[in-house]
Amino acid sequence: MKDLGALRYFLGLEIDQTNRGIFVSQRKYSTDLLKDQGMLDVKPLKLPMDTHLKLTAEKGTLLPSPVIYQKLLGKLIYLTVTRPDIAFSVQLLSQYMHAPTSTHMQAAKRLLRYLAGTKSQGILLASSSAAHLTAYSDSDWASCPNTRRSTTVYCILLGDSPVSWKAKKQSKVALSTAEAEYRAMAMTACEVTWLKSLLKDLGLNCLAPTILKCDNQVALAIVANPVLHERTKHVEMDYHYVRDMVKDGTLIT
């Protein structure tokens, strides 16, 4: 092994170190992706997806070969390493990789038009951030028109810096918005546990309780009030992991 100096570029990641912290982006990767698709000079859009569009497996006509779509989505998935803003759109588009249609490809092209105007975006790992975790969780209840399963999304900050984010379809159908939100909180709590273990290995042993923010009052009440458990028997027991973490002081909702 040998010292190659300050890290600047690695596997498509561009790293700029300043007094404010470390800025990580994939500008060249995004530019190369747009160039490959012939969309380098397209008119940019302000949103990654049409908010009124509901993708289904049947919409549009099947593409002659799914390979082009699959390669494009594979590159977009890698782009989410530094782009939390496209995580939800990419996970939605990646659900149709086995049999993509013209509608799915059109939605993917729209996402590329959004990237055309935001090539330089990335994440700042601020040098002045405090050593405490803040987590945000949310869900899109019954958003999948095919399975009626909800989507979990979360983002976790270390101080002011985003360090973990995900958008993922839930494994089971939620019977209410509260259940969908509670499942999202459970997935976020698991990620918080893993991050705290990692930070402990790095020497941060005295972290304050993590603040978990959720915008559903019923889900928050389920966490805070054990009496409500009688009305939530349909929620599997392992999702009460959140309530146990609040009880032992690891989480504050």
User: Tens digits of per-residue pLDDT, 61-88?
Assistant: 999 999 999 999 999 999 999 999 999 9
What are phi and psi for residue 125, nearest 5 degrees?
A: -90, 90
Mean of pLDDT over the chain = 88
Q: What pTM was computed for the model?
A: 0.82
On whether the CB atoms of residues 193 and 187 are closer than 8 A, the answer is no
Other CB atoms within a 10 A radius of the CB of residue 52 amount to 5
pLDDT at residue 227, rounded to an integer? 65
Which string of DSSP letters, residue by residue, matches the chain?
-----S--EETTEEEEEETTEEEEE-HHHHHHHHHHTT-TTSPP-SSSS-TT----SSSS-B-S-SHHHHHHHHHHHHHTTT-GGGHHHHHHHGGGTTS-BHHHHHHHHHHHHHHHT-TT-EEEEETT--S-EEEEEEEETT--TTT---EEEEEEEETTEEEEEEEEE-SS--SSHHHHHHHHHHHHHHHHHHHHHHHHHTT---PPPEEEE-S-HHHHHHHH-GGGGGG-TTS-GGGGHHHHHHHTTSEE-
Residue 123 has what pLDDT? 94
Q: Decide if 141 contacts 177 (C-beta within 8 A).
A: yes
Average pLDDT of 207-231? 82
Q: Name the segment(s) of the chain with CATH classification 3.30.420.10.
A: 131-248
pLDDT digits (tens, 9 = 90+) for 121-131: 999 998 888 88
CATH architecture assigned to 131-248: 2-Layer Sandwich (3.30)
| pLDDT band for position 238 (cuts 50, 70, 90) | low
